[in-house]
Structure 1
Amino acid sequence: MSLTSEQKKHYRTIGHNLNPLVMVAGKGLTENIQLEVDRALEDHELIKVKFAVGDREVKKQLIKELAEIVEATIVQEIGNIALLYRKAENPDPRLSNLLR
């Protein structure tokens, strides 16, 4: 899914105040991490994921791979944090970061 520059700007503004919900450590993308990111995206639609990986290229590859696996769009990458977006099928107004 491709986002317009206005949508990305809006999502970055919302994402600025969010805390990372999932942390990816040195073991890479385990099945549990993929399931947790998938669940978090379904609940919140817009989430931050923190990557505690030393190498920049490995981190960029992990972010890209995770986004492909969970079918999310990378809104922004800053340092060790990635902001991911995926539209929920039935968004819950109490949980969604976009509807609050």
Structure 2
Amino acid sequence: MLTSKQRAFLRSMANGTDAIFQVGKNGVTPELRDAVHNALEARELVKISVLDNNLLGAAEAAEMLASRTGAEIVQVIGNKFVLFRRSKTKPVIDLPAAKK
């Protein structure tokens, strides 16, 4: 579970990046899930765009992909959303410490 400070940190990191995946008219397919899973393992933070011809909104697509990949939703704005998941092999992003 991300704290608001960690979420803000991740939002600032994602601000300058482009979307690397698009959810098209087929929705969240197993191929897209696998590609996002691999990208999360390598990058830990991915931005995804939802095309206008999709029946799902960005929030629904974010929920589906987050639950299927074990990621957390960082942000949903318009037709884009950002997912984060800590890498199991080599962590890339150093999050601010959570207060206890």
Q: Do they fold alike, i.e. is TM over 0.5? A: yes
Aligned alpha-carbon RMSD (Å): 1.7
Aligned-pair CA distance for 1:84: 0.3
Aligned-pair CA distance for 1:46: 0.6
Could you tell me which runs of 5 or more consecutive residues in structure 2 were left unpaired when the two chains were aligned.
95-100
Over the matched positions of the two proteins, sequence identity in percent amounts to 28
Give me the TM-score of the superposition, normalised by structure 1.
0.84
Give me the TM-score of the superposition, normalised by structure 2.
0.84
Alignment partner, residue 81 of structure 1: 80
Aligned-pair CA distance for 1:21: 1.2
Query: What is the aligned length?
Result: 93
Distance 1:61 1:84 in 2: 13
Distance 1:20 1:50 in 2: 6
Could you tell me which runs of 5 or more consecutive residues in structure 1 were left unpaired when the two chains were aligned.
none
Distance 1:32 1:53 in 2: 20
Deviations 1:11-45 (A, max 9, x none): 00101011111111011111110010000000000
Corresponding position: 1:71 with 2:73: no
